[in-house]
Structure formats: C-alpha cells, structure tokens
C-alpha cells in the first residue's frame, strides 16, 4: 500500500531529470522530497501524479500499477506551487470542480464544498474570486479543491514556496495537523530542509536526479549517508577530509593534541545564537555556533587566537562515519563541494 | 519626472487633432451627408431590393466565415502553443499569409484555382457546383482574408495562462474535452472575443478579394461594400452614403455586443480587459481599405 516508484528514469533533451529513482512511501505517511532545484524532485512528484510520462520505471499507487494510467484517472490530489487557481471561478466553483466532473448532485456538492471550506478556514469566502484572496488563502483553496474528491494520495509541489516566511510557517503547522486528521498518504516537495524536517515523518533527499538517502529527520541529520546529505540537511564545516556541524565545534582557550589553532574573524549575533567565524592556519574558513552564555564565558573578540576542538566528525571517503580524531589520508580538493562520490541506494 | 501641464495639454491636443483630422472628420462627413435631408432618403435607399440583398449577403458572409474561422483559429492556436513541433514555424508563417498578401491578389488566386482553366474549376463545374460568381467563392474569399485574427489573438493569451490550470483540472478527473470547455476556453475568452470582433469587422468590410470572385452582380453577388462602391460609381451618392452608414453601424454593434457580453460574464472580478492584439488591430486597419 502507499506509493512505490521503481527505477524511474526521465530525460528532458540533454538533461537527466530522473536517473533510476526508487522510493517507497508508506500508506498514510507524510513524506518530503527534499533537494536543490534541478534535483528531480518535482519531476518525480509529477510522474506520480501522471502529469509527466516516465521514460522507464513504474509507479504503483495503493498496490496498483498506475504507470500507464492518465492523470485524470489516478485519483491523486495535486497542489501546485503557484496555486493553479481557476481564475474565472469563485472559491466555491474551484472546490466544486472535481465534484461537478463526477456529476454529484447540487445539494451534495454544496454540503461537501462547505465542509471543506470550513476545514481550510475559508468558509466566509466562498463567493470570492481567486484574485481577491491572499497567497495563503489561495493555497488553502487549492488544497480544499484537491481534497474534495477524496484522493487516494495527496501530492504537493513546493506548496508554500511562493508565500512569505510567516504564512509559510503557519501553513506548514496547519498541514501537519490536517494530515493527522485525514491520514491520506501525502508527498510534498520542498527545497527547504527545515520545512521538510518540521512537517514530514520521512524525508527523501534527492540530488542530480538520484535519491541520495531516505529516512527520518534524525536519521538523516545524525547518520547522513554522504557529504551531500550532510550539507543539505544542516550547516556543515569542512576540515580537509572531514565534516563537522558548527554546533559540534568546541572553542577552547588552551591547546591540546585534538585542537587546532584558529583566529576569530567575525562575531555575528543572531538573537540567541551566536555565529563565530574563524580562519585556520591553512586559510580554511570555518564557523562555530555558540550560545550567548558560551560567548560571554569565553570573552571572545575579533582577532583573538583560540583553539577549536571538533566533536562528532564525519568522513565519507570510506563510507564509514567516524567520530574519532583526524585520520586524513588521501588529499582532496578542499573546494570540491557537494559532488558526493557515494550514491545511496534507495 | 512628470511632464509639465502645458506639455501634457499640448500632447493631448496633438493626439486629438491627429485623430480628428484623419478619422473623425471623414466619418463625420459621411454621417452629415447621409442625414443632410433627414432620415427619409437614406431609409428609402436602403430598402431597395438590391440594397436589402446586399445587407443579407454581407450578414451571410459574417454568419459563415466568422464561426468557421473561430473554430479553426482556436484549434490552430491550441496546436501552435500546446503541441510543440518543428512544423509549427511553417504553420505560423502560412497563417500570416492573408496579412501579407493584398486581398486583390487573394481574389485573383481564387479566380485562377476555381476558374474554367484552374485546377479545381472544371471538375467542380462538371459536378454542377459553381464557385466563382456565386456565394461559395465569396465565402471562400471572406474566410481567406479574415483567417489569421482569431489565431493571432488567441496564441498570446494561451501562452500567458500556461498549462497549470489545465493540469489541475486533469488531476481532478476532467478529460481533455471537459478541460477545454470548463477551463481553457473561459480563460482565453477575451482573446477569442477580440479575434471574433476583428474577424467580423474584416468580413463586413472586405472588398478586394470578394469583388474579383463575385463578379459584383447587383441583387445576386453584391455585398454591402460592393454595393457602396457601385452606387458611388453610378453617382447614386445617397445610396453610397447610406450603405456606408449601415456598414459602420454593423461594426459598432459587434463591438457593443462584445463589451456587454464581457461585462456580464465577469462582474465580480475587477481588472482591465486584456488587450492582446494591438498589432493585429493595426494590421486589420491597414488592410481594411484595400
């Protein structure tokens, strides 16, 4: 049950949007497809909806092979980033659309639409037109429209991407609660790792048309399969062959065998969190995340020489996460970024 | 930077003066001349059998050419915008042909094709079907000259609305036909409506192509513009002016019907009517008099 994609491939001209992608979404779960733009996450979602044909591979929805089924018959609810509101119809007309297509009777439609509008808190706005609504209201209308036909699965393509930060936060909390009530298998696409971790039970991290890793937010954060995942799900410093999260950087004033000398370059106060930027002896720039109290205790100032002790180091050269000292062996280009050599099996 | 008051009024005067001299003065003169001696003479001129038949024929041309070109135009625009294909550039070019070619040339080409020495002429006349000097030829000419308008007006609107609304409709269970009628057509209706108005205006006023294929036989193959021209040549100025007024009124009625229809269709939502086809309007006007 749920949704399964097996060996999906899709090419647009020279661009390989999906490269042998397989994912498994449990029935009733809320899963996030997370990745940078061009990673293939939207293409995968559209392929599940039937809005994109796959070159190869299979889409299985609730145990049935839907690969050859047109979008019209897949019974998926799809929510677009830019709402795709039917501009010539009222809010009521938008939400009623799928029901009219299914030839429901007028009283039935009216009951169902008002029930949904209450659910998405738009009940007083049924006679408005989409261009008289705010972005957040439009997206809730689009959600009600998708839910009206009781879809087997709900697919959301960057649903909050076009909204401002405050509305986005409210809406994702609200989506989380809505999912708890409705239990419809939901996949949503986002490039925002915080949003994905906040809302989803399961995350699928994608990059360059492939799945890098999937798992819970804790799994991905604590046991990233590779450098790409590590840097995508959180902040990261690179120390030669190793990676360390800024909050795992201990700043001490006394040197020992596990510390490295560094100069304080800049101290940025971001509310509760303090961002301290350092430059190491070899010119590498790193930063540490401290609390206000820690900063006051250390009495750091710009230009000062201190010592950094990285805890929780990760290294992906041998595919084995390690947290011991510094066992750098093969030299690598320190500028080489997220082009991870380790590909995760889906 | 805001222009000074005098510059603003200077520009306005210039614009009105220009339009007045070029457009309003000639049209105004026709009105004046027509009704110089009251409403009696023009009414009399327009109720003669030949005049009535000319009005009937002109309306018949509109009734056939406009629906044909509307259906073709919307279909063609959908093909051009929604189905990317290498041949599209060629189709796009061919559609512009009636804009590029003088109506007289269009008339001549139809004459060559359907005349006694043409490709189709002999075969069709054996079957007892006469195209030239009769209504079918005039319909063909009318369709030919007014073909591009609906396509040209619809293509940009289709491009602008994008495909997301249509995709949303399909995920909600709508088939292609339902999506077209319920989503696409309402979304592009202003473009189509402008195309229809321009097509109508073009068919109403068509002279060059129709004059060649029709033979301009009074009471038989004479549309209103031909009637106006012939009356003028025969020094029947009263009929010529009255005919011109009827033509102008027909065109105005079309515009009015569209504005009223459009306003009714959308009362709740504000926003100006999108004007998609300024270039097409300009082209239409330059062709009008040829």
| pLDDT string in tens for chain A (346-residue length) | 789 999 999 999 999 999 999 999 999 999 999 999 989 999 999 999 999 999 999 999 999 999 999 999 999 999 999 999 999 999 999 999 999 999 999 999 999 999 999 988 899 999 999 999 999 999 999 999 999 999 989 999 999 888 888 888 888 888 898 898 888 999 999 999 889 998 999 999 999 999 999 999 999 998 999 989 998 888 888 887 888 898 888 888 888 888 888 999 999 988 888 899 999 888 888 999 988 888 888 888 888 899 988 887 888 865 444 433 333 333 333 333 333 333 333 3
Task: State residue B83's pLDDT score.
Answer: 87
List CB contacts (< 8 A) between B188 and chain A.
none
Nearest by CB to B183, which of A74, A86, A128? Answer: A86
Supply the DSSP symbol for A71: G
Is B164–A74 a contact, with Cβ atoms under 8 angstroms apart?
A: no
Q: What is the CA radius of gyration of chain A?
A: 24
Burial class for B41, CB neighbours closer than 10 Å (0-12, 13-18, 19+): middle
The two tokens of residue B186 are 């309402």
SS3 A129: coil
- Are residues B220 and B118 in contact, defined by beta-carbon separation less than 8 angstroms? no
Contacts of B178 in chain A (CB under 8 A): 101
CB of A159 within 8 Å of any CB in chain B? no
Interface test with A, best of B160, B169, B172 (most A CBs within 10 A): B172
Cβ distance A146 to B171 less than 8 Å, yes or no, reads yes
Q: Which of B84, B160, B171, B265 to mutate to test the interface with A (most CBs of A within 10 A)?
A: B171
> Do residue A71 and residue B167 have CB atoms under 8 angstroms apart?
yes
DSSP string across A267-305 = EEEETTEEEEEEEETTS-EEEEEEEHHHHHHHT--TT-E
Contact A78 B266 (CB under 8 A): no
What string of DSSP letters covers A99-110? HHHTT--HHHHH
The ipTM assigned to this model is: 0.81
Residue A165: φ, ψ to 5° = -55, -45
**Residue (of B59, B218, B220) closest to B228 by Cα position:** B218
d(CA B278, CA A68): 44
* Inter-chain contacts counted by CB atoms under 8 A, chains A and B: 71
Residue A246 DSSP code: G
Query: Could you say which residues from 316 to 335 on chain A have a Cβ atom under 8 Å away from some Cβ of chain B?
Result: none
Q: Check: CB of residue A335 under 8 Å from CB of residue A263.
A: no
CB-based contact B69:B140 (threshold 8 Å): no
Taking an 8 Å Cβ-Cβ cutoff, which residues of chain B contact chain A? 164-165, 167-175, 178, 182-183, 186-187, 266, 268-269, 271
Token pair 């994008």: residue: B162
**Partner-chain contact B172 A98, CB within 8 Å:** yes
Q: Looking at the partner chain, which of B167, B172, B266 has a beta carbon nearest the beta carbon of A101?
A: B172
**Would you state the torsion angle of the CA atoms of residues A57, A62, A64, A69, taken in this order, to the nearest 10 degrees?**
-70
Record: contact A80-B167, CB cut-off 8 A: yes
Instruction: With CB atoms and an 8 Å threshold, state whether B168 touches A86.
Output: yes
Q: Got the DSSP string for A18-47?
A: EEEEEEEE-TT-EEEEE--TTSSHHHHHHH
Digit-by-digit pLDDT tens for chain B (290 residues) are 566 888 889 999 999 999 999 988 888 888 888 888 888 888 888 899 999 999 999 999 999 999 999 999 999 999 999 988 888 889 989 999 998 999 999 999 988 888 877 788 787 877 877 888 889 999 999 999 999 999 999 999 999 999 999 999 999 999 999 999 999 999 999 899 999 999 999 999 999 999 998 888 888 889 999 999 999 999 988 899 999 999 989 988 988 888 887 666 554 343 334 433 333 333 344 343 33
Please state, as a whole number, how many other Cβ atoms lie within 10 Å of the Cβ of residue A344: 18
- Partner residue opposite B269 with nearest CB, options A51, A73, A129: A129
List of chain A residues whose C-beta atoms are within 8 Å of the C-beta of residue B165: 84-87
Residue B219 CA to residue B290 CA, distance in Å, equals 23
């Amino acid at each position: 049950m749920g949704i399964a994609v097996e060996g999906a491939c899709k090419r647009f001209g020279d661009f390989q949007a999906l490269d042998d992608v397989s994912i498994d979404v449990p029935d009733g779960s809320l899963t996030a497809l997370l990745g940078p733009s061009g990673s293939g996450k939207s293409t995968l979602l559209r392929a599940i909806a039937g809005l994109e044909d796959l070159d190869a591979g299979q889409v299985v929805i609730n145990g049935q092979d839907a690969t050859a089924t047109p979008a019209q018959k897949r019974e998926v609810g799809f929510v677009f980033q830019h709402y795709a509101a039917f501009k010539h119809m009222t809010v009521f007309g938008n939400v009623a659309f799928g029901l009219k297509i299914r030839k429901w009777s007028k009283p039935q439609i009216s009951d169902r639409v008002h029930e949904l509008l209450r659910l998405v808190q738009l009940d007083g706005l049924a006679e408005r037109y989409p261009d008289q609504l705010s972005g957040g209201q439009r997206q809730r209308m689009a959600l009600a429209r998708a839910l009206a036909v009781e879809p087997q699965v709900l697919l959301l393509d960057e649903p909050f991407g076009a909204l401002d930060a405050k509305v986005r936060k409210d809406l994702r909390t609200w989506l989380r609660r809505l999912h708890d009530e409705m239990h419809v298998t939901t996949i949503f696409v986002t490039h925002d790792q915080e949003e994905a971790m906040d809302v989803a039970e399961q995350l699928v991290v994608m990059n360059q048309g492939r799945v890098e890793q999937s798992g819970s937010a804790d799994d991905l954060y604590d046991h990233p399969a590779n450098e790409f995942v590590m840097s995508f799900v959180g902040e990261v410093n690179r120390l030669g062959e190793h990676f360390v999260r800024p909050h795992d950087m201990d700043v001490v004033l006394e040197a020992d065998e596990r510390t490295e000398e560094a100069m304080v370059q800049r101290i940025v106060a971001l509310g509760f969190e303090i961002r301290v930027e350092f430059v190491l002896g070899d010119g590498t720039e790193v930063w540490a995340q401290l609390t206000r109290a820690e900063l006051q205790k250390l009495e750091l100032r710009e230009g000062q020489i201190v010592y950094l002790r990285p805890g929780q180091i990760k290294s992906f050269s041998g595919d084995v996460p390690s947290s011991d000292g510094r066992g750098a062996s093969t030299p690598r280009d320190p500028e080489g970024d997220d082009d991870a050599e380790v590909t995760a099996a889906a | 930077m805001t222009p000074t008051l005098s510059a603003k009024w200077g520009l306005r005067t210039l614009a009105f003066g220009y339009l007045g001299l070029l457009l309003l003065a000639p049209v105004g003169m026709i009105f004046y001349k027509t009704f110089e001696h009251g409403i009696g003479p023009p009414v009399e001129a327009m109720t003669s059998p030949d005049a009535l038949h000319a009005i009937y024929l002109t309306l018949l041309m509109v009734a056939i050419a406009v629906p044909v070109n509307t259906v073709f135009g919307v279909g063609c625009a959908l093909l051009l915008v929604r189905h990317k294909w290498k041949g599209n550039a060629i189709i796009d070019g061919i559609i512009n042909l009636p804009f590029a070619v003088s109506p007289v040339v269009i008339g001549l080409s139809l004459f060559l094709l359907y005349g006694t020495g043409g490709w189709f002429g002999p075969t069709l006349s054996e079957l007892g079907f006469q195209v030239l000097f009769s209504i079918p030829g005039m319909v063909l000419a009318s369709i030919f000259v007014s073909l591009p308008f609906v396509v040209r007006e619809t293509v940009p609107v289709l491009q602008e609305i994008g495909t997301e609304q249509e995709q949303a409709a399909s995920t909600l269970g709508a088939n292609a036909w339902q999506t077209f009628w319920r989503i696409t057509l309402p979304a592009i209706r202003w473009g189509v409506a402008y195309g229809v108005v321009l097509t109508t205006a073009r068919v109403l006023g068509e002279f060059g192509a129709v004059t060649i294929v029709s033979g301009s036989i009074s009471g038989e193959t004479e549309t209103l513009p031909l009637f106006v021209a012939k009356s003028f040549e025969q020094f029947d100025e009263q009929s010529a002016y009255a005919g011109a007024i009827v033509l102008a009124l027909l065109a105005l009625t079309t515009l009015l019907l569209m504005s009223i229809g459009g306003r009714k269709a959308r009362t709740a939502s504000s926003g100006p009517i999108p004007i998609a086809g300024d270039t097409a309007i300009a082209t239409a006007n330059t062709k009008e008099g040829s």
